[in-house]
Amino acid sequence: MKLFGWFGDKALHRGVHVPECKEQTAHLPIRRMNFPPVVIVPMSQHAGTPAIPIVKEGQEVVRGEPIARPDGFVSVPMHAPVTGKVERIALAPSARGDLSLAIYIRPYPAASQEVLYGEPQNIDQMSPEEIVRAVQETGVVGLGGAAFPTHVKMKLPEGRTVDTVVVNGCECEPYLTTDHRVMVEQPRAVIHGTRIAMKALGAPRAIIGVEDNKPDAIQALRDALAAESAITVEAVPTKYPQGAEKMLIEVLLGREVPSGGLPSEVGVAVFNVATLAQIGDLLPRRQGLIERVITIAGTAVRKPGNYLTVLGTPIRWALEQAGATEQAASVILGGPMMGPTISSLDVPITKGVTGILVMARDSFNSRHTIFPCIRCGACVEVCPLHLNPSRLGMLARKGRYEEMESDFHLMDCFECGCCSYVCPSHIPLVQYFRVAKQMNRERKARHAAASA
């Protein structure tokens, strides 16, 4: 149905143009948010096994000090975000809705909150294995939202090589501007982190992909790169969901990650810009990840902005600081296309939180009547993975979840939400798919339990 958009090789052919809504915060420099009266550090802020606390209740901790150790390789340590006293180690609410173990720390009001931890280390003299170990020590995970431990991506399976490191500066979700500000304000850290990733993976080149709605970020990175030839900055036409790993690889390199596979299978490793900025910043000083930049924006917030926030800050505190208004009716963690709404304001900000959107009632005009599918094919046109959401949706309505997985590649769907976005019948397609995936997971677990 699209007449244009097929020309030019470096563009995402599928996907949608969503309202960007970034003008609210894109020009605002990163500011530090006040420390909250209590920080809540969950042990599971990442994909993988939760960390294990190594402090006791009542113990004093110094900002930057490790307070939890990783449990295995696919896990990361936690560091004390503030200087203060461990108040308790107990269950805390999480964004998913369930309770998980967390360390509550009450900051000392009079402490200088300087990071005294860490010691310089010379990355040039480190072997790839040492870098991977050092990255794990920093506790850095994917800051773009997925929160997958970064050092795991830097450790390649035996016999596999990576020729290109792709640095993801797309930030295709509307409203969010954290990556944008990090690129503008800390281009050197981004580049330094990129070099470290290249060294760890033995990759000869790196491409920083930035959407063309951030010309200042592209310029800042190019200026900082100067004569460096192994790293290039590529402007890609803005389109959602270009920031998805697989999509960006396809756009920049024309390679297709096999279904169910990892980018390293096609010789690529993808890192978010903010992740690499943190690595570039923390690794030479051997410090841990204790704060990150989040965007607070939306239709019901008085002081939107990009806030440097200590991890573990309760969302309630963050919203007080940013001045949520009386109209606030929903709070979304992350962007409006993929972020979940939260039911409790006591959820802490974790490593994977890219932003908080505070929306007034009916900001999204989302109360529509659902019509039957009229088979217009709009979802098929936009699905970046070339799935058939229309058919999947019909099967989901009938509860034929197994067929969705076996015949229509349900598990490839990464829930970008383009299908739901365009559906003129307002069918909650991606929502159906989430349910279907969950039902399939539960059924498999039951089968496994029954056969065991």
Partner 1 sequence: MPPLAPEIELRTSPHFHSNRSVEMIMRNVVYALLPLCAFSVWNFGLSALALILVSVLSCLVTEHLFCWLSRRKSSLGDWSVTITGILLALTLPPGFPLWMVAVGGFVSVGLGKMAFGGLGFNVFNPALVGRAFLQACFPTAITAYSPALAKNRFTEFIPTTFTPPFLQPPPLADWIERVRVDAFSGATPLMQQKFDKVTADWQPLFFGTVSGSAGETPALLILLCGAYLAARNFMDWRIAFSMLASAFVSGAAFHFLNPAVYPHPWFVLLSGGLMLGAVFMATDMVASPVTPTGVWIYGALMGLITVVIRNLGGLPEGVMYAILLGNAVSPLIDNLTQPRVYGVHPRRRTA
Q: Which of 9, 14, 82, 420 is nearest to 241 (CA)?
A: 14
Q: Which is nearer to partner 1, 189 or 333 (CB)?
A: 333
Q: Smallest distance, Å, CB 303 to partner 1?
A: 12
Q: Which is nearer to partner 1, 186 or 242 (CB)?
A: 242
Q: Smallest distance, Å, CB 164 to partner 1?
A: 18
Q: Smallest distance, Å, CB 404 to partner 1?
A: 13
Q: Which is nearer to partner 1, 149 or 339 (CB)?
A: 339
Q: Smallest distance, Å, CB 255 to partner 1?
A: 10
φ/ψ of 451, rounded to 5, equals -85, -15
Q: Smallest distance, Å, CB 343 to partner 1?
A: 6
Q: Smallest distance, Å, CB 95 to partner 1?
A: 12
d(CA 148, CA 200): 17
Listed in sequence order, the residues at least 6 apart from 319 whose beta carbon sits closer than 8 Å to its beta carbon are 296, 301, 328, 331, 345, 356, 358
Q: Which is nearer to partner 1, 204 or 340 (CB)?
A: 340
What residue type is 248 in one-letter code?
Answer: L
Q: Which is nearer to partner 1, 53 or 428 (CB)?
A: 428
Question: Is it true that the peptide bond before 241 is cis, omega within 30 degrees of 0?
Answer: yes
Q: Which of 256, 220, 255, 257 is nearest to 235 (CA)?
A: 220
Q: Which is nearer to partner 1, 163 or 412 (CB)?
A: 412
Tell me which residue has tokens 């410090």. 287
Coil, helix or strand at residue 300: coil
Q: Smallest distance, Å, CB 291 to partner 1?
A: 22
d(CA 344, CA 402): 34
Four-CA torsion 112, 117, 123, 128, nearest 10 degrees = -130
Per the CB < 8 A criterion, the answer to whether 46 and 352 are in contact is yes
Q: Which is nearer to partner 1, 202 or 424 (CB)?
A: 424
Coil, helix or strand at residue 187: helix
Distance of CA 377 to the CA centre of its chain: 30
Q: Which is nearer to partner 1, 35 or 175 (CB)?
A: 175
Q: Is 448 left (phi over 0), alpha (psi -120 to 50) or beta?
A: alpha
Q: Smallest distance, Å, CB 161 to partner 1?
A: 20
